[in-house]
Structure 1
Amino acid sequence: MAKKNSPKYRSPQPTRSTREEVAPSSSSTVAMRETIESIVIAFVLAFLFRTFQAEAFVIPTGSMSPSLLGQHKDVKCSECGYRFRTTASTEGEDRDARLARLRNPTVTHQERMQLEREIAGAEVIAGMCPMCRQTMLYRTDDLPRGLPASVDTENVVDEPSYPGDRILVNKYSFGFRDPERWEVVVFKFPGNGEMNYIKRLVGLPGEELQVYQGDIFVRPQEEGAEYKIERKPPHKVKAMLQPVHDTDYDPQILHNAGWPLRWSDATGGWQTEVESDDSNLVQRHKFVSTDAPADAPVSWLRYQHLLPDDNDWTIARRFADRGEYVGTTKEQWLAGIRPQLITDFNPYNARILRAQLMNRGPLQIEPHLLGMEWVMDLGVLMDVEIHEARGELLLDLVEAGKHFTCQIDLRTGKATLSIDGMPEFAPTAETPLSEAGEFRIQFANVDDQLMLWVNDELIPFGESNESATYNADQVFGGRENAIPQTSEDDPGDLAPVGIGARGASLTTTHLEVLRDIYYISARANDEPMRAKWSGLGYHLDYDHPDDAAELSDGTRIPPLSYERQLFSDPSTWPRFLTRHKRNFPVDEGQYFVMGDNSPESLDCRLWKRGNDPNAVPGGAYLDARLMTGDAVSVFWPHSWGSIPGLKKLPGFPNFWDMRIVR
């Protein structure tokens, strides 16, 4: 079975006639003329829009990634074929400024050497695929000898840097209405009125905002008012969920060496078929059973977050080359594999600069760029072929040890939601899953709300889906108690996504695990952590892992033994009880904005008073007078660089990446 071939998953590839030298025909000449005419018309329209209603902006940084992209590398993984982007902002304006200074004849020899070192050090030379987690080289020049065996050095492509997304901004929409929460807005940066910034609006005038456990809470600015979680509308949730894993991108090289599949039959009853498709695997998970009584046990297919690291890739590559395990045995290797918690890893941030090697660091992604926050809000997306309209299909998401389940009766199409320990929570809805056929199903637990889509249509549980919301304080006996859980009887958050069946006949394919955006709770006066090799600062949502911590009941939490221990060792999980709450008042005439790429977003959380060029004169808020407008669409993504009859045409857009800003 072929993999999905939509633009979301597959980069458009030039045909043979495009790549090779082909004389332009008369039709290609016409096409070129029409393209040039279209570009001229686009510029004229852009000028008119700018004058009267709208204006075009270029995204400079990746603070809104993956929704919007700054200067970046657009990469196709050499092993699994997954398309992803990595930031290249260091190769942008700062690098250009250094190059301009380098051309100045008055620069001294010492200054020239320093500038050349800084320019070289700013090059992004490698990144990490979010699906198969291999470290990928982006450059072929000036690389050191003896690169680690975990790195594929035979299929390296020099990856160019592309400019940020060009977006269209409606400058006058807020003249007729107030900005709405969760909108993507453009504004003048308070520290520099000539700079345009773009963020997501999360806080409104007259309220106090709290960032906690990755979510947004608000309350009125009045004594005795309580914080309540702000739930994103379902269409925003669907647009903002980020990929964690996709079965279409499991590389064959790992599987051949014995690496386990992330989805496995947990209780018996599922049949997994694995075939080869190019360099990847095609997976089908079948469940065929006779009618079972209502109290028969459910058969579960469960996801574990099994992430290969550099050592695992070294073993797999050596096995592919030699057909044997070097330095270990298969049993020893597999015995060391441990499932992990799902984190806020964003491949956009996972880059290696040449400066890291120049400073004698390894060709390895800095540990903090692999995601340092446990994400509780998850989703699952899959294709299901129902062979017969009988039995039940169940979708299960685990959060802090509690199971949030959607049970669908395939005879009637009735869906029922349930939560561990809350028998009174049982909202129902009607779905089209009452007959044989093929369906696209998505289930999510985000912002204390359960959501179900069938064929991209929301299935509402009550009006506006209000029956599917729940109170996390009731579920967990206090929201602060929501930390990861696991046991011998229930793997819990180490197997956080499940697909169940009872008495059904069906096949699932194209399984995807998704996660919500995690907003890190930080403020300007928090002391940042320092990266291991680069020394760059970053913020954490919990007490410093190198320090011992003490809980309110006097329990002492020892420091971590290594950077990533928190995500695979349950004994360290009480540290999540130290997650911070950061409160921000938003007065009248003010807004609060944050970036979707929270680990690398300079937003209201980190703005401070003072005369610093990067500071806000007043504090952690956006003055309403600085609001420019709302982002409408990405109207001119970077070019793929070729059209029929021409090898390259700079500026020719990639139409597949044009999109409405959500």
Structure 2
Amino acid sequence: MTKAKTPVDRRETPEATAPAKVQAEAKSSHDFVMFRETLESIVVAFVLAFLFRTFEAEAFVIPTGSMSPSLQGQHKDVNCNECGHRFRTTASVEGDETDKAKANERQLEAQLDAGQRELSAARSSGHQRRAADIQRQLDYLTNELTRVRQHIKNIEVVGGMCPMCRNLMPMRPDLPKNVAEDFSGEEIELQPSYPGDRILVNKYGVDFSEPERWDVVVFKFPGDGNMNYIKRLVGLPGEEIRIYQGDIFVKPIDAAESEYQISRRPAEKVAAMLELIHDSDYESATLYNAGWPLRWAATTPDGWQVDAKVDGKNVVQRFSIDQSASDPLAWLRYRHITPNEGNWEYARRLAKDGSDKTMLEEAEKAGISRGEWDARLRANEIPKLITDFNPYNASLQRYEAEGRGWQLGANSMHQGTEWVGDLAIDATVEVEEARGQLMLDLVEAGNHFRATFNLADGKVELTAVDARTGEALDFKATGQTSVNAAGTYELRFANVDDQLLLWIDGELVDLGDTTYDPDKLLPTGRKGMIPWASANADEDQGDLAPAGVGALDAKLTVTRLALLRDIYYIAIKAGTDSRAMVDFESTVPMDELFAQPDRWGVFAGRRKRDFKVEEGQLFVLGDNSPASKDCRLWKEAENGAEPGGPYLDRNLLIGKAVAVFWPHSWGTYPFSEKLPILKAIPGWPAFGDMRKVR
């Protein structure tokens, strides 16, 4: 039987990519997983009833992905078959919609069974006209049953896109044979759908105190008291909320326009809401062997030494430098170079065939010269802007795959539609000698925000530089850190909500006031905060190289680099904007827009949308802005219907989300192969995924 594998680092479990068994077993495996999850839910309900019957607490299972990546709805939880990175993609459609369709299927089957009995009785008694009428009804029911069963198949999630290597990973074994052959000949495993995070909701506090901005809250959906929603609280009574450039701005109702101030989140909220863009631990060996460039590269001659070696499905990288006092400042920089399905097709065929001879012959038969073929192949090897891509939204349903002729790829609108400038960089650094300087650099709208460490005494200085002119901006913050001796350090530097934040080994560093006002600090002001890159490839590439690590007179090694982004709230308002979840008007294809600086003027036209929050009301948004039906989309109602507008009535609030207390289980216990009876017992949760809700 196909097993549900625990998505952990492939280095720990080499067997995690072992092929699934025969396709015929896939359905029974899926049904067994669903049975286990149902049984677990019953057990959890009894446990909670016992533990919390005397407390004002309630369990809640998140149904959809509107709060992803912070919290998960029904989803598939997998390791990428190409790079090993664990990611989640939505399977919400396999929940309620599939359940409704299957209920319809069972009803039709029962009607057909009853009809067959009536038909037999009519024929036995010689009532031919009655039998003919029954047969026509049976033909109709049979066609309906065929349609419903096809609908159930069509909405199945058959694939999802890895955020690291952009591989569209197939997730069901009952796909056309050529699909499996295209994926290095590996047999495709069934990836089960898991229920959403089970969270604990504190109901007691909201009766005696007001919730705070940025709390995650659960409430009754206006107009349907049986449906609970979960969102993040953004607006409080007596405020006007503005969504602009992906951020939240607040002012008192009826105050002047100039009173709008950006709403900055506490550091723990920022950390919880960051989404991973790239991790150097998960570079794909398949792509690398096909000549695909690595994301991090040295940009200074004779500076950083990049050691890259293939290890299984990954490329292990180490970035080392050993400078003297006379050597210039040396940089490593990140380029957001993401492959498309054509790049993946080439890389897989090259890995399978051992050469590109067959592909070249096919191109020549199609009238494509070698030069043109090479140009097409490398056309996508260019840096692009960071977008709001979320793998949770990039699932692929069966009907979509069939419509593409089984060329697996995600919908372009699910691969990011907004430029995101609020970023964070993670670096694991081995300082070999306590001398010189180490720098972490982030770029937003052509401005460098930089943390410079003095490795001799641990002092750090935050500064800002205009990339267009190279001139320092009027910003400085300083502090003391523990990075003052040889050793290994985990560093994180973030530029989010117009503030700079620094963590060392997981601890926030106190640097005093690190906020800034773009209208006062930046030459362009806030309105002019659009991406920038020099037209000369040898000069500062600005937002096309949005993160960097610098060294001066230092001896150190970086063993891991990761880039993360903030969530981006899309400015859209029901009754004002189209349903397209895009912040600006543009007819340029997204892949061109994010790669071509001469197109970036459109970002100056990003929308502002304002919302009033009256007394007794709240304003809530989902973290997964492109996929969240929140206050932005609640229309002004007629005749007293609910929701009555873009607000949440305070009386509908249930409580504050406290913790993810029971993440889905992986369906197995230790020794379950030797003791099969264990397989029928509800599995224990994935303890590593238990966490506070931030």
Q: TM-score, normalised by structure 2?
A: 0.83
Cα distance in structure 2, aligned partners of 1:336 and 1:49: 55
Cα distance in structure 2, aligned partners of 1:280 and 1:342: 23
Cα distance in structure 1, aligned partners of 2:187 and 2:525: 51
Quick one: which of 645, 651, 658 aligns to 2:690?
A: 658
Q: Is the 8 A contact 1:14 1:642 kept in 2?
A: no
Quick one: which of 321, 328, 334 aligns to 1:303?
A: 334
- Give the structure with higher Rg (CA): 2
Q: What is the Cα deviation at residue 460 of structure 1?
A: 1.5
Q: What is the Cα deviation at residue 90 of structure 1?
A: 0.8
1:39–1:526 CA distance, 2 compared to 1 (3 A): closer
Residues 73-84 of structure 1 aligned to structure 2 (within 5 Å) = 73-84=76-87
Quick one: which of 515, 529, 541 aligns to 2:583?
A: 541
In structure 1, give the amino acid aligned to 2:527.
Answer: E
Q: Does 1:177 align with 2:209?
A: yes
Q: Which moved more, 1:637-646 or 1:207-216?
A: 637-646
Q: Is the 8 A contact 2:635 2:643 kept in 1?
A: yes
Q: What is the Cα deviation at residue 571 of structure 1?
A: 1.5
Q: Does 1:469 align with 2:496?
A: no
Q: For residue 236 of structure 2, what is the aligned residue in structure 1?
A: 204
Q: What is the Cα deviation at residue 67 of structure 1?
A: 1.0
Cα distance in structure 1, aligned partners of 2:463 and 2:207: 44
In structure 2, give the amino acid aligned to 1:374.
Answer: W
In structure 1, give the amino acid aligned to 2:498.
Answer: D
Q: Does 1:313 align with 2:344?
A: yes
Residues 86-101 of structure 1 aligned to structure 2 (within 5 Å) = 86-101=89-104
Q: For residue 227 of structure 1, what is the aligned residue in structure 2?
A: 260
In structure 1, give the amino acid aligned to 2:508.
Answer: L
In structure 2, give the amino acid aligned to 1:522.
Answer: I
Higher helix share: 2
Q: What is the Cα deviation at residue 12 of structure 1?
A: 8.1
- Could you report, residue by residue, the CA deviation over 1:134-160 in whole angstroms, capped at 9, with x for unpaired residues? 11111111x235449864552421111
Q: For residue 382 of structure 1, what is the aligned residue in structure 2?
A: 427
Cα distance in structure 2, aligned partners of 1:267 and 1:616: 60
Q: What is the Cα deviation at residue 48 of structure 1?
A: 4.5
Q: Is the 8 A contact 1:135 1:151 kept in 2?
A: no
Q: Give the superposed CA RMSD.
A: 2.6
Cα distance in structure 2, aligned partners of 1:353 and 1:58: 23
Q: For residue 559 of structure 2, what is the aligned residue in structure 1?
A: 509
1:47–1:189 CA distance, 2 compared to 1 (3 A): farther
In structure 1, give the amino acid aligned to 2:156.
Answer: E
Quick one: which of 49, 52, 55 aligns to 2:55?
A: 52
Q: Is the 8 A contact 1:137 1:153 kept in 2?
A: no
Q: For residue 308 of structure 2, what is the aligned residue in structure 1?
A: 274
Cα distance in structure 1, aligned partners of 2:15 and 2:411: 38
Quick one: which of 503, 520, 529 aligns to 1:482?
A: 529
Residues 232-271 of structure 1 aligned to structure 2 (within 5 Å) = 232-268=265-301, 269-271=303-305
Q: For residue 389 of structure 2, what is the aligned residue in structure 1?
A: 345
Q: Is the 8 A contact 1:291 1:390 kept in 2?
A: no
- Residue 468 of structure 1 aligns to a residue in which SS? coil
Q: For residue 598 of structure 2, what is the aligned residue in structure 1?
A: 571
Quick one: which of 593, 612, 625 aligns to 2:651?
A: 625
Q: Is the 8 A contact 1:385 1:436 kept in 2?
A: yes
In structure 1, give the amino acid aligned to 2:463.
Answer: S
Cα distance in structure 2, aligned partners of 1:395 and 1:570: 24
Report the number of matched residues. Answer: 607
Q: For residue 106 of structure 1, what is the aligned residue in structure 2?
A: 111
Residues 2-81 of structure 1 aligned to structure 2 (within 5 Å) = 43-50=46-53, 52-81=55-84
Q: Is the 8 A contact 1:98 1:115 kept in 2?
A: yes
Cα distance in structure 2, aligned partners of 1:444 and 1:459: 12
Q: What is the Cα deviation at residue 509 of structure 1?
A: 1.3
1:616–1:492 CA distance, 2 compared to 1 (3 A): farther
Q: What is the Cα deviation at residue 257 of structure 1?
A: 1.4
Q: What is the Cα deviation at residue 569 of structure 1?
A: 1.2
In structure 2, give the amino acid aligned to 1:570.
Answer: P
Residues 471-620 of structure 1 aligned to structure 2 (within 5 Å) = 471-474=517-520, 475-487=522-534, 488=536, 489-528=539-578, 538-543=580-585, 545-546=586-587, 560=588, 562-610=589-637, 616-620=642-646
1:113–1:258 CA distance, 2 compared to 1 (3 A): same
Residues 140-159 of structure 1 aligned to structure 2 (within 5 Å) = 140-141=173-174, 143-144=175-176, 146-147=178-179, 151-152=183-184, 154-159=186-191
In structure 1, give the amino acid aligned to 2:504.
Answer: V
- Residue 376 of structure 1 aligns to a residue in which SS? coil
1:652–1:365 CA distance, 2 compared to 1 (3 A): same
- Residue 582 of structure 1 aligns to a residue in which SS? strand
Q: What is the Cα deviation at residue 190 of structure 1?
A: 0.8
Cα distance in structure 2, aligned partners of 1:348 and 1:507: 34
Q: What is the Cα deviation at residue 177 of structure 1?
A: 2.1
Cα distance in structure 1, aligned partners of 2:290 and 2:77: 29
Q: Is the 8 A contact 2:173 2:187 kept in 1?
A: no
Cα distance in structure 1, aligned partners of 2:151 and 2:246: 35
Cα distance in structure 2, aligned partners of 1:358 and 1:256: 30
Quick one: which of 498, 501, 509 aligns to 1:448?
A: 498
- Residue 427 of structure 1 aligns to a residue in which SS? strand
Q: What is the Cα deviation at residue 658 of structure 1?
A: 1.1
Q: Does 1:132 align with 2:155?
A: no
In structure 1, give the amino acid aligned to 2:321.
Answer: F
Quick one: which of 443, 447, 465 aligns to 1:398?
A: 443
Residues 408-419 of structure 1 aligned to structure 2 (within 5 Å) = 408-419=453-464
Q: What is the Cα deviation at residue 45 of structure 1?
A: 4.0
In structure 1, give the amino acid aligned to 2:176.
Answer: P
- Residue 67 of structure 2 aligns to a residue in which SS? coil
In structure 1, give the amino acid aligned to 2:414.
Answer: L
Q: Does 1:355 align with 2:399?
A: yes
- Could you report, residue by residue, the CA deviation over 1:70-119 in whole angstroms, capped at 9, with x for unpaired residues? 11111111111111111001110121111111111337233222211221
Q: For residue 286 of structure 1, what is the aligned residue in structure 2?
A: 320
Q: For residue 30 of structure 1, what is the aligned residue in structure 2?
A: none
- Residue 469 of structure 1 aligns to a residue in which SS? coil
Q: Is the 8 A contact 2:7 2:77 kept in 1?
A: no
- Residue 389 of structure 2 aligns to a residue in which SS? coil
Q: What is the Cα deviation at residue 51 of structure 1?
A: 5.3
1:50–1:84 CA distance, 2 compared to 1 (3 A): farther
Which 5+ residue runs of structure 2 have no aligned equivalent? Answer: 1-5, 20-38, 113-140, 361-369, 467-471, 674-678
- Residue 319 of structure 1 aligns to a residue in which SS? helix
Q: What is the Cα deviation at residue 216 of structure 1?
A: 0.3
Q: Is the 8 A contact 2:218 2:657 kept in 1?
A: yes
Q: What is the Cα deviation at residue 274 of structure 1?
A: 1.3
In structure 2, give the amino acid aligned to 1:594.
Answer: L
Q: Which moved more, 1:269-278 or 1:228-237?
A: 269-278
Q: What is the Cα deviation at residue 643 of structure 1?
A: 0.5
- Residue 629 of structure 1 aligns to a residue in which SS? strand
- Residue 151 of structure 2 aligns to a residue in which SS? helix
Q: Does 1:187 align with 2:231?
A: no
- Could you report, residue by residue, the CA deviation over 1:204-237 in whole angstroms, capped at 9, with x for unpaired residues? 1111000001000001113325110001111111
Q: Is the 8 A contact 1:291 1:503 kept in 2?
A: yes
1:458–1:118 CA distance, 2 compared to 1 (3 A): same
Q: Does 1:433 align with 2:483?
A: yes
Cα distance in structure 2, aligned partners of 1:150 and 1:540: 34
- Could you report, residue by residue, the CA deviation over 1:600-623 in whole angstroms, capped at 9, with x for unpaired residues? 00001111133799x843200011
